[in-house]
Amino acid sequence: MRRDLKQPVPDTRSHTVESVLAIAKHPIHPMLVTFPIAFLSMVVVTDVLFLWLGAAFWAELSLWLNVGGLGFGLLAGVVGTFDMMSIRVVRRHVSAWNHFIVAVMVLAIATLGVWLRLPDPVAAVWPWGLLSSAVMAGLVGVAGWLGGTLSFRHGVGVYGDEEADAADGPDPDRKPPAE
């Protein structure tokens, strides 16, 4: 589709929405989510390694990755929920609600994984442990994608360069983010 050259180009810069829970303007939620993302996405890898190599170490590692991912995920979820409920503009983003729902699904499957694996990590891997860890890894990817969209596209949980913003001056055509 050809763009009419007389139409103004829309401003694609995002507003920045500072996090309520931050340390020296660094939002806590994005700092915490790196741990559950790493731990929970690796459970499927350690399950496959257990099935391939047969060493009980990998099944036990799956359990501990699942436990650690669930613990850090709950902590990150509390911080993220507090931020979302505290900032009106964030609650207006469809991406924020989608991210919230998928993250709750991840935590539910992580809880299922711990419940399955705790009695006997080795016996739990096939088939239900592997199936739940594969679904969980996919959902972790979706939640991460949506969280990245909130940060990088919509500027949620970030802070801008105040000097550059002051030099640019107020932009009367700039609208607050909403979806």
Give the chain's mean pLDDT. 84
On whether the CB atoms of residues 103 and 81 are closer than 8 A, the answer is no
105: containing domain: 28-159
| pLDDT in the model for residue 71 | 97
**81 belongs to a structural domain:** yes
**174 belongs to a structural domain:** no
Q: How far apart are CA 124 and CA 115, in angstroms?
A: 9
pLDDT digits (tens, 9 = 90+) for 126-167: 999 999 999 999 999 999 999 888 888 877 776 655 544 454
| pLDDT in the model for residue 174 | 52
pLDDT digits (tens, 9 = 90+) for 23-32: 887 888 888 9
- Given pLDDT bands bounded at 50, 70 and 90, which one contains residue 40? very high
Residue 19 tokens read as 């996090």
The total number of structural domains in the chain stands at 1
| pLDDT in the model for residue 164 | 46
**166 belongs to a structural domain:** no
| pLDDT in the model for residue 57 | 97
Within 8 A by CB and 6+ apart from 62, the residues are 43, 46, 47, 50, 113, 117, 121, 125, 129, 133
- The CA radius of gyration of the chain, in Å to the nearest whole number, is 20
Q: How far apart are CA 4 and CA 16, in angstroms?
A: 30
**175 belongs to a structural domain:** no
**18 belongs to a structural domain:** no
On whether the CB atoms of residues 150 and 99 are closer than 8 A, the answer is yes
DSSP string, the chain: -PPPTTSPPP--PPPPB--SSEETTEEHHHHHHHHHHHHHHHHHHHHHHHHHH--HHHHHHHHHHHHHHHHHHHHHHHHHHHHHHH-HHHHT-HHHHHHHHHHHHHHHHHHHHHHHHTT-HHHHIIIIIHHHHHHHHHHHHHHHHHHHIIIIIT-BT----HHHHHHH---TT------
On whether the CB atoms of residues 37 and 80 are closer than 8 A, the answer is no
User: Taking residues 35-47, what's their average pLDDT?
Assistant: 97
**39 belongs to a structural domain:** yes
